[in-house]
Amino acid sequence: MDQTVVLITGCSSGIGLSLAVRLASDPSKIYKVYATMRDLAKKKRLMDCVKDSHKDTMDVLQMDITHHQSILDVRDGIKEKRVDILVCNAGVGLVGPLESQSMEMMRQILEVNVLGTIRTIQTFLPGMKARGSGRVLVTGSIGGLQGLPFNEIYCASKFAVEGVCESLAILLQHFNIHVSLIECGPVNTDFLANLRRTEPGDASLSQADARTRALYATYLQHCDTMFQDAAQEAGDIVQVFLEAIEAQSPALRYYTNSALLPLTTLKLAARDGSQYVKAMNKFIFSIDKAGDC
């Protein structure tokens, strides 16, 4: 019986690494995993995790999703000449007042999170269509479903990914290809350590007014508390990925953290959004309406 070929982006750490290890270590060896990362110098952690259990189940490949030729090279190097399950997991975050963000930095975030994801799907989609089967799983975010202050560019990128996946899900049913978004909240991974974050002492903060800087300081304190209280482990997220992979009829969205669902539900239910904005202000800044400090 042929193995199910899985290609995963962003496997140097976090969710991508954990998912690659879980699938490659499956005792039944039903998966062949192509674990990709931009910098192969970071593959040691992945190799240490799988040890000798991956000889027939995993290859580690260099792939930079911001360069089309890099993706093509991986596609052409896959021994089975097909990908049954594509997992678009690579991404990067950006936190800070909008006034402090350079155009170059904003472009980098959009290049990775939006165009990198689109470029990867675009490359492997024709093969899936030709075979009349396939799965596309994308690491989404609660920030793609609701706006978060000081995450404007990150949320913009994740909102865009939501639109891409939702649009494709409608079309790809005609080709027996299922698209699923794994909607994550805070996760204890290197994503936080690698976050592009405006620090309180950064010179770029001078571009923002004093009130914005004060609210940003409050936001950073809230984030630290939220990660302590609500953050999940990568293994918890992997279980949700497995649910989507093993489902006969996968859902479009899988939510990994029920703690944040009430605010998402409120946003979707509120026609004009005003109640959601007030609720988010109370949740993050402990104030009843924007402007009350």
- The annotation status of 269 as a binding-site residue, yes or no, is no
- The annotation status of 134 as a binding-site residue, yes or no, is no
Collapsed DSSP state (helix, strand, coil) of residue 123? helix
Distances in Å between the Cα of 259 and the Cα atoms of 184, 239, 286 are: 11, 17, 18
- The annotation status of 210 as a binding-site residue, yes or no, is no
- The annotation status of 28 as a binding-site residue, yes or no, is yes
- The annotation status of 36 as a binding-site residue, yes or no, is yes
- The annotation status of 24 as a binding-site residue, yes or no, is yes
Collapsed DSSP state (helix, strand, coil) of residue 131? helix
- The annotation status of 38 as a binding-site residue, yes or no, is yes
- The annotation status of 143 as a binding-site residue, yes or no, is no
Long-range CB pairs of 258-264 (<8 Å, 24+ gap) are 259/185, 259/230, 260/142, 260/185, 260/230, 263/146, 264/142, 264/145, 264/146
> Cβ atoms within 10 A of the Cβ of 130, count?
11
- The annotation status of 259 as a binding-site residue, yes or no, is no
- The annotation status of 22 as a binding-site residue, yes or no, is yes
Angle value at C-alpha 99, between 96 and 159, nearest 5 degrees: 60
- The annotation status of 282 as a binding-site residue, yes or no, is no
- The annotation status of 14 as a binding-site residue, yes or no, is yes
Helix H or strand E encompassing 137: strand 134-141
- The annotation status of 29 as a binding-site residue, yes or no, is yes
Are the C-beta atoms of residues 263 and 146 closer than 8 Å to each other?
yes
- The annotation status of 219 as a binding-site residue, yes or no, is no
Which among 250, 258, 256 is positioned nearest to 86, based on CA atoms?
Answer: 250
Are the C-beta atoms of residues 38 and 12 closer than 8 Å to each other?
yes
Secondary structure letter of residue 205 according to DSSP: G
Does the active-site annotation cover 255? no
Active-site residue identified among 154, 219, 254, 255:
154
- The annotation status of 44 as a binding-site residue, yes or no, is no
Collapsed DSSP state (helix, strand, coil) of residue 102? coil
Residues counted in the chain? 293
* Numbered residues of the known binding site: 10-38, 64, 141, 158
* Numbered residues of the known binding site for NADP(+): 10-38, 64, 158
Residues noted as catalytic: 154
* Numbered residues of the known binding site for substrate: 141
